[in-house]
C-alpha cells in the first residue's frame, strides 16, 4: 500500500486541473518501454512492465555505482523459468517526471545492462489510465474520472482473481484463450505448449531459441499463427512462441512474489510487444478495461 500511495502522490501534481498529462516521449529498446529516471542522484532509465507485480532495482546498476542501500526483507520471486530468493531495498531516492520521492520494497533483479536502473510494475499502472502510443513512442496518464473505460473498451478483459492483474481474451487460429497483458514481454505472443498444440502450431515449428527471464533461461519454439484476433482487429501471420518439449515454465508472470497465486480464469500466456506495437493502447489497470486503436 505504501508503494501505491507514494506513486499516487507523485503523479497527482502532474495533472493540476487537467484530465491528462502532456504526452511524454519514451524509448523503445528491444520491445521494452523506458522512461528517464534519476536513482540516488544517478541518471538512468526505468522500464514500465504491466506484467510485473513488483518494483525492481537492477543488481548491475547497484554494483556499477557501488550503492549502499537500506536493506529490507528477502522475498522469493517467481520468474517464467525459475524461483529465486531476492534481497529488497527501502528508502531508495528516485526522481521521475521531475518529482522526487522514495520507494520501498524494491526487489533486486536482473534487468540487463547497468543503464537499466529500475522496473516499475503494477503500482505504476493501477492508479491511472495509461495510454501508450507505440507507433509514435509516446505516453500519457489520464485521470480515471475523466474517461469511462466501460463505455470505450473494445477488448474483452477481466481482472485476474488473486493478483488484480489485467488479462485479455485473444483468439489464436479461431480458438479463444486468456493471456496476461504484459508490456514487459518484448516478444509477441507466448503461450503454454498445450495451447500451441490446441491451435495447431506444434506441426509448424520454424525454429527454437534460448529465451531469458528474470530468474533464468529456457528453450522456446516458434511458429506462425494464421490469424490472431485482438479486440476488433484480426491480424494475419503472427509469430507465437511456446516452451519446447519438457521445458518447465511459470507462465503467469515474469516478476511475481511467490505466494501471490493467480485464481479465476486460467492464464495460458502473455501478450507482448510484437502484438502491441502497431496500436495505441489505453488501459485502466485497476478494472482491466482496455481500448486499442490505430494512431492518428
Domains of the chain by start residue, with CATH: 2-142 (2.40.70.10), 149-293 (2.40.70.10)
Q: Which H or E element spans position 274?
A: helix 273-276
What does R_g of the chain's alpha carbons equal in angstroms? 19
203 secondary structure, DSSP code: G
> CA nearest 59: which of 120, 117, 122?
117
Please, what is the Cα angle at 37 between 33 and 42, to 5 degrees?
Answer: 135
Model confidence at 258: pLDDT above 70: no
**Residue 125 phi, psi (nearest 5):** -85, -30
Q: Would you state the pLDDT for residue 161? A: 80
164-206 pLDDT, tens digit each: 889 999 999 999 999 999 888 888 899 999 999 999 999 999 9
Say how far apart CA 19 and CA 6 lie, in whole Å.
Answer: 20
Residues in the chain: 296
> CA nearest 196: which of 253, 267, 244?
244
Say how far apart CA 104 and CA 69 lie, in whole Å.
Answer: 11
Residue 202's SS3 state is helix
Model confidence at 262: pLDDT above 90: no
17-67 pLDDT, tens digit each: 457 888 999 999 989 999 999 999 999 999 999 888 889 999 999 999 999
**pTM listed for this prediction:** 0.84
pLDDT cut 70: percent of the chain above it:
84
Model confidence at 263: pLDDT above 70: no
Contact status, residue 208 vs residue 222, Cβ threshold 8 Å: yes
Kindly tell me the burial class for residue 100, based on how many C-beta atoms sit within 10 Å of its own C-beta (0-12, 13-18, 19 or more).
Answer: exposed
Say how far apart CA 111 and CA 119 lie, in whole Å.
Answer: 8
Amino acid at each position: 500500500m505504501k508503494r501505491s500511495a507514494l506513486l499516487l502522490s507523485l503523479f497527482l501534481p502532474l495533472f493540476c486541473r487537467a484530465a491528462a498529462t502532456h504526452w511524454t516521449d519514451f524509448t523503445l529498446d528491444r520491445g521494452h518501454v523506458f522512461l528517464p529516471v534519476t536513482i540516488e542522484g544517478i541518471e538512468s532509465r526505468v522500464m514500465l512492465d504491466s506484467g510485473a507485480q513488483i518494483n525492481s532495482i537492477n543488481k548491475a546498476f547497484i554494483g556499477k555505482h557501488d550503492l549502499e542501500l537500506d536493506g529490507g526483507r528477502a522475498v522469493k520471486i517467481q520468474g517464467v523459468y525459475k524461483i529465486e530468493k531476492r534481497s529488497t531495498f527501502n528508502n531508495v531516492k528516485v526522481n521521475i517526471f521531475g518529482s522526487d520521492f522514495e520507494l520501498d520494497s524494491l526487489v533486486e533483479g536482473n534487468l540487463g545492462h547497468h543503464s537499466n536502473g529500475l522496473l516499475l510494475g503494477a503500482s505504476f499502472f493501477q492508479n491511472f489510465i495509461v495510454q501508450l502510443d507505440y507507433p509514435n513512442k509516446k505516453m500519457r496518464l489520464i485521470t480515471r474520472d475523466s474517461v469511462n473505460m466501460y463505455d470505450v473498451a473494445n477488448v474483452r478483459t477481466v481482472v485476474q482473481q488473486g493478483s488484480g492483474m489485467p488479462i485479455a481474451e485473444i483468439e489464436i487460429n479461431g480458438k479463444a484463450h486468456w493471456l496476461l497483458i504484459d508490456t514487459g514481454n518484448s516478444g509477441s505472443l507466448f503461450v503454454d505448449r498445450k495451447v500451441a498444440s490446441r491451435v495447431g502450431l506444434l506441426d509448424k515449428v520454424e525454429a527454437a531459441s534460448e529465451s531469458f527471464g528474470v530468474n533464468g533461461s529456457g528453450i522456446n519454439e516458434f511458429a506462425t499463427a494464421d490469424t490472431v484476433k485482438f479486440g476488433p482487429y484480426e491480424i494475419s501471420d503472427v509469430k507465437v512462441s511456446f516452451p519446447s518439449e519438457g521445458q518447465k515454465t511459470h507462465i503467469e508472470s515474469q516478476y511475481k512474489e511467490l505466494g501471490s497465486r493467480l485464481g479465476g480464469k486460467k492464464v495460458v500466456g502473455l501478450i507482448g510487444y510484437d502484438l502491441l506495437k502497431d496500436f495505441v493502447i489505453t488501459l485502466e489497470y485497476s478494472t482491466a478495461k482496455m481500448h486499442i486503436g490505430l494512431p492518428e
